[in-house]
Amino acid sequence: MKGLSDLVSGGLAGRSVLVRSDLNVPLEAGEITDAGRIEASVPTLRALAEAGARVVVTAHLGRPGGQPDLEHSLGPVAARLASLLGREVQLAQDVVGSSAATLAAALTDGDVLLLENVRFDPRETSGDDAERGALADALVALVSSAGTDPAFVSDGFGVVHRKQASVYDVATRLPAYAGGLVEAETEVLRRLTDDPVRPYAVVLGGSKVSDKIGVIEALAPKVDGLFIGGGMCFTFLAAQGHGVGDSLLQPEMLDTCRDLLSRFGDKIYLPVDVVVAEAFAPDAPIRTVPANEIPDGWKGLDIGPATVERFAQGLGQARTIFWNGPMGVFEMAAFAGGTRGVAEAIAKVTEDEGAFSVVGGGDSAAAVRSLEIGEERFSHISTGGGASLEQLEGAVLPGLAVLENGAVS
331 is known to lie in a ligand binding site? yes
63 carries a ligand binding annotation: yes
Check 75, 97, 110, 386 and give the catalytic one: 386
Please indicate if the annotation marks 363 as binding a ligand: yes
**CA pair distance 375, 359, nearest whole angstrom:** 9
What residues form DSSP beta bridges with 381?
359
* The dihedral sign for the CA sequence 132, 138, 139, 140: positive
362 has binding-site annotation: yes
Give the C-alpha separation, 321 to 144, whole Å: 44
- Which is catalytic among the residues 2, 173, 191, 208? 208
Encoded amino acid at 23, one letter: L
Which of 90, 105, 32, 95 is closest to 58 using CA atoms? 95
Q: Is 287 annotated as a binding residue?
A: no
Q: In whole angstroms, give the CA distance from residue 78 to residue 84.
A: 10
Residue 268 CA to residue 232 CA, distance in Å, equals 13
362 is an active site residue:
yes
Q: Is 37 annotated as a binding residue?
A: yes
Does 61 belong to an annotated binding site? yes
- Selected catalytic residue, list 37, 54, 267, 340: 37
The Cα–Cα gap between 99 and 77 comes to 18
The one catalytic residue among 156, 205, 338, 362: 362
Please give the single-letter amino acid code of residue 84.
Answer: L
Q: Who's near 70: CB < 8 A, 6+ residues apart?
A: none
Q: How far apart (Å, rounded) are the C-alpha atoms in residues 306 and 84?
A: 41
Residue 37 designated active-site: yes
CB-based burial label for 131 (10 Å; 0-12, 13-18, 19+) = middle
Q: Is 87 annotated as a binding residue?
A: no
How many residues are listed for the chain in this entry?
409
The DSSP string of 79-100 is HHHHHHHTS-EEE-SSSSSHHH
Among 281, 263, 169, smallest CA distance to 221 is for 263
Those residues with Cβ within 8 angstroms of residue 283's Cβ, 6 or more apart along the chain or in another chain: none
Is 137 flagged in the annotation as binding? no
CA–CA dist 164, 398 (Å, integer): 9
8 Å CB contact between 20 and 159? yes
Q: What is the H or E stretch that residue 64 is in?
A: none
Q: Distance (Å, rounded) from C-alpha 376 to C-alpha 393?
A: 27
Let me know if 305 is exposed, middle or buried by CB neighbors in 10 A (0-12, 13-18, 19+): middle
| Strands 299-303 vs 273-277: parallel, antiparallel or unpaired | antiparallel
Residues 6+ apart with CB under 8 A from 394: 193, 218
Binding residues: 22-24, 37, 60-63, 119, 162, 212, 300, 331, 361-364
Catalytic site positions: 37, 208, 362, 386
Binding residues for ATP: 212, 300, 331, 361-364
Binding residues for substrate: 22-24, 37, 60-63, 119, 162
